[in-house]
Amino acid sequence: AVNFALRAPLIYGGNKPGQWGQIADYIRNRVPAFVLLLSYVDELLVATGLGALAFGLPIITDLEVPQLGKIDTTLFEALVTQQDYRKIPAQCILTRGIKVKMSEVAVPLPYAAAFEGERVRKEQLAVEFGGKATAAIEFLSSAEEAAVTDGKVELIGPDIDQLPPGSKSLPLAIVADVFGRKMQKDFEPILERQIHRFVNYCMGLMHMGQRDMTWIRISKDAYAKGFRLKHLGVILHAMLHTEYSAIVDKIQVKLYSNQEDVNRITLAAQATYNQRDERLAGMTDESVDTFYSCLLCQSFAPNHVCVVTPERLGLCGAYSWLDAKASFEIVPSGPNQPILKGKLLDGRLGQWEKINEFVKQKSNQSIEQVSMYSLMDGPQSSCGCFECIVAIIPEANGVMLVHRDYSGTTPSGMSFTTLAGSVGGGVQTPGFLGVGKLYILSKKFISAEGGLARVVWMPKELKEILGDRLKSRVKEIGQDGLVDQIADESVATGPEELLAFLKQVGHPALTMDPII
């Protein structure tokens, strides 16, 4: 076998006998061969093994011998001991750096990008996770090699065929552990966000949202054909290997469908989400010459283009400017593309020449210009994955905020769900905007209309979520009492009640320039 590996660069690489360095480079980088040495070794095998190492071919053995790390001729480890025969194939693949790609995704349903964007309506629904029904979360993190068993998919809790009669919902936590020699912490949110796309490729499934606001639906037809929860793990394992083999070597997935487990995982994941969100501290839109696009949601909103800046994360809340930058480095042809800002057209609105040109092209000519900092003048379009909606309240000369988890009535007369139907779909709607929660705390948050001082109403839960960061932000703008001046559902759910409250507390929006 070593002899055959040696002949490959002579036959296909154009190398000549005696060109030891070039031949070794060719074998190391282009011939995915290794030596598997089992049970026995003698002087001749030792000599042959040293020759194999000289040409970059690592040795994997079950013998108790000292292990040898990377040497000059090998890509990774030179000599590895593995005495568990069940793990030897995976060890050989990992040690040689062979990348695995799945020829097909082993699910009982058609699987292709053509099914992305399919909706599962209420009358077609077999079971759902998240949305308004239950809690659902997806969380991907990197792990050490020993902690990850490639291809392992484990379900902890009831499967969808164990639901009691009449029940159509379950809590769900999708936890993916990834090991890769080139994997970085910064890549975690990029891979995690691909779950949206990978699940939607499956006929009969619908995925929306992200992080701890995931919403997945499985149709009756998909259920009847045998789709079960473990198949979600099969999809992630196959597709992460297929599309991200450059950085991913091993993947395992655990699925939890017990409420206690989902609550525990959500609490732990939220701490990681916060750490990811804090990486951008100190960066501003002015400090960079490039923004990034995100076209991941065009399957549901074909004309929607998300522009991600250091001070404005994606409306899904899962992609920051650094995430989009890392995503482009991993997959240069992917949904996150760099956009040079170009000539500044309007600093107050946040309009740049090259940004407008890019958005017009990628929105199928439907959006002529976009204002990064305005709610009223050419606001950014929205898909359906936004964490919050900003909506104008003309009577109060301000805006309200409502997040996805709030199911009550708002002063606009519409619930979040009704508003989402008007705001989403990739349409530019002046006065309405889908945003990520953390954008509310940005200095650029609807700054063309006066920023945070325009907010007159938000649900109490959203205030609690933003917490101390909201209090700190209002102090920065010199409005120390603003948090208490912002109404919530306990004091107003209609425009008349809201206006009376705002007058009583002296909200600054009442004395600002007309918003319309």
- DSSP characters for 301-329? -TT--EEEBTTB--TTSS--HHHHHHHHH
Whole-number pLDDT of residue 346: 96
Distance CA 154, CA 176 (A): 10
Distance CA 158, CA 139 (A): 20
CATH class for the region spanning 285-511: alpha beta
Q: Two tokens at 193? A: 């966000």
For the chain, the structural domain boundaries read 2-96, 113-278, 285-511
The residues, ordered by sequence, that sit 6+ positions from 341 with a Cβ below 8 Å of its Cβ are 289, 290, 291, 352, 354, 355
Per CATH, is 113-278 categorized as 3.30.1650.10? Answer: yes
Whole-number pLDDT of residue 199: 95
Whole-number pLDDT of residue 133: 82
Distance CA 506, CA 486 (A): 10
Q: Is the pTM of this model over 0.85?
A: no
For residue range 246-271, list pLDDT tens digits in order: 889 999 999 999 999 999 999 999 99
Residue 253: which of 139, 146, 128, 159 has the closest Cα? 139
Residue 175: which of 113, 261, 245, 106 has the closest Cα? 261
User: Which residues in the chain come in under a pLDDT of 50?
Assistant: none
Whole-number pLDDT of residue 307: 96
Note the CATH number of domain 2-96: 3.40.50.2030
Distance CA 36, CA 31 (A): 15
Residue 214: which of 175, 271, 260, 163 has the closest Cα? 175
Whole-number pLDDT of residue 514: 95
For residue range 472-503, list pLDDT tens digits in order: 999 999 998 999 999 999 999 999 999 999 99
For residue range 108-165, list pLDDT tens digits in order: 999 998 898 888 999 999 999 998 889 999 999 999 998 999 999 999 999 999 988 8
Whole-number pLDDT of residue 405: 85
